[in-house]
Amino acid sequence: MTSGPTSPDPSANPKWAELAAAAAAVPTIRDLLDADPGRPARSTVSAAGITLDFARQQITPQALAALIELAEKQGVFDRRTAMFAGEHINTTEDRAVLHTALRLPRGARLIVDEVDVVSEVHEVLDLMGNFAKSVRNGKWRGATGKRINAIVNIGIGGSDLGPAMAYQALRDFSKRDMGFHFVSNVDPTDLSEVLRSLDPARTLFVIASKTFSTLETMTNGRAARAWLVSALGEKAVINHFVAVSSNRELVEKFGIDSKNMFGFWDWVGGRYSMDAAIGLSTMIAIGPKAFSQLLAGFHAMDKHFETARADQNLPVIMGLLAVWNRDFLNISTNAVLPYSQYLSRFPAYLQQLTMESNGKRVRLDGTPVTYQTGAIVWGEPGTNGQHSFYQLIHQGTSPVACDIIVIAQSDNPLGDQQNMLIANALAQAAVLARGRTIDEVAADGTSKELAPHKVMPGNRPTSVISAPRLDPFTLGALIALYEHSVFVQGALWGINSFDQWGVELGKKVALGILAVIDGQADMSTVDVATAHSIEVLATQGRA
């Protein structure tokens, strides 16, 4: 089934002009809150254990309703239906987009291209589960008979960011007598620093590459293989390497038994794959039962996104607010600020999810967009960020939209520190939204000369996203919330959120430059600036 490249220009819709006029006249966030004491209650929605409070967004109920109408007219909800049905909405690659199928429960059916994808997914999950159990309980042994105590996931992009983020987020649920490490950078330091403290006889490598040819991943994989072989011999490879891949031939050529190859499908993009075989290291860390809870959280948010009415639908609201901030309030960046140390890698994960998906300049039919698309996503956990970049958010000249993520209960209670953390999160949300006027500063007794320096403009659109506890279910629901928000944005903009051609070109050019550096190609094959840089670096390398 194919969903053709229909991509009507949203800015040509009369609703777009109506929204632009509404944005020009929208009151400040402070005024919106002061004028309507019931706004917070009416601007709070919950699903799958996640609560979204968007009362501090600079938008009126009327503008949000108009955004929902625009989404309807632009076919956003029809495209959602097509995605869940397995239609080929990734038109530039002629593929279905079925990360939601990765978390459908056993026994569900979804036939795509004449294949029951759910049964295939659960076959892989069962293989993963059996393998994870054998590593966790010591049945799987290294070549010398020792138990495995270190897992090294070697990947890049979605094959690294998802597993690394999930391990950090769910570390409280992990097997504590095992170490988990993540290598992605082709910089030799990344792998070398990980291997420095490991025992080859007790280390298991998971090489994650769909094609088993990704340059960075396989370069690190071959280096790890050489390290192991130098210590334990060639025959040890089969006991210490497994693959997440679909290329059986290259996996076996590497020395990995194909029985220890965990596959996935073309209809899963790398940045959407952490709940499939790419999550093997996650499953080993937290166990198959907790991994199934992670999938249940994903699925719960999927069902909510698919069935809830638009004005009560968390991903729809978040996605439409992102479009409002980007296109109508002209805010180019979105800071993700998790007040949870466990979520310290979550902003980096969302950078790829959002910017690789919606960093596009043409619509589905190839025509250029005439409006802004994907925002720049960045962030760090609180309270650390408060002593770093919050100064710019509060008093800088470029407004920043903010997502503040708060977990109500700590798994590591320590005195009053969790309450202190929550107080800081809510304080930042209040100041970002309301600011502090010069009259309020003066009322504190601040001198006239110093007062301007203490004024906070406020009016920074801020959402507070909260959950009772950060467990596997909650993490799955939280990730799916952002996945579907990204979908809503891309569908409204009429772009393809599921390809990444901008990533591919750099890889191709790098291979050409590498050939020049290695003396296998002439300097004339690169541009003059690149040729000059090669010469400079060659000189520095000899210094």
The yes-or-no answer on residue 507 being catalytic is: yes
Distance between CA atoms of 531 and 396, rounded to whole angstroms?
39
Q: What is the 3-state secondary structure (H, E, C) of 439-478?
A: HHHHHCCCCCCCHHHHCECCCCCEEEEEECCCCHHHHHHH
DSSP for 156-198, please give it. Answer: -THHHHHHHHHHHHTGGGS-TTSEEEEE--SSHHHHHHHHTT-
Q: How far apart are CA 522 and CA 517, in angstroms?
A: 9
Marked catalytic residue, from 356, 360, 394, 484:
356
Name 299's Cβ contacts closer than 8 Å, sequence gap at least 6: 100, 103, 104, 105, 476
Q: Is residue 454 annotated as a catalytic residue, yes or no?
A: no
3-class DSSP state for residue 32?
helix
Catalytic residue selected from 259, 387, 448, 453: 387
Say how many Å lie between the first and final Cα of the chain, rounded: 59
Measured distance CA(512)–CA(497) in Å, rounded: 28
Please work out, in degrees rounded to the nearest 5, the angle formed at the alpha carbon of residue 420 by the alpha carbons of 290 and 47.
40
- Residue 382, token pair as written in the block: 């609180």
Give 486-529 as a DSSP string.
Answer: HHHHHHHHT--TT--HHHHHHHHHHHHHHHHHTTSS-GGGS-HH
How many other C-beta atoms lie within 10 A of the C-beta of residue 247? 17
Question: Are 377 and 355 within 8 A, CB to CB?
Answer: yes
Residue keyed to tokens 């794959």: 273
- Residue 214 DSSP symbol: -
Whether 99 is catalytic: no
Tokens coding 181 = 């490490």
Question: Which candidate in 289, 507, 532, 535 is catalytic?
Answer: 507
Structure tokens at 129: 């589960």
C-alpha–C-alpha distance, residues 497 and 357, integer Å: 4
The residues annotated with a catalytic role in the active site are: 356, 387, 507
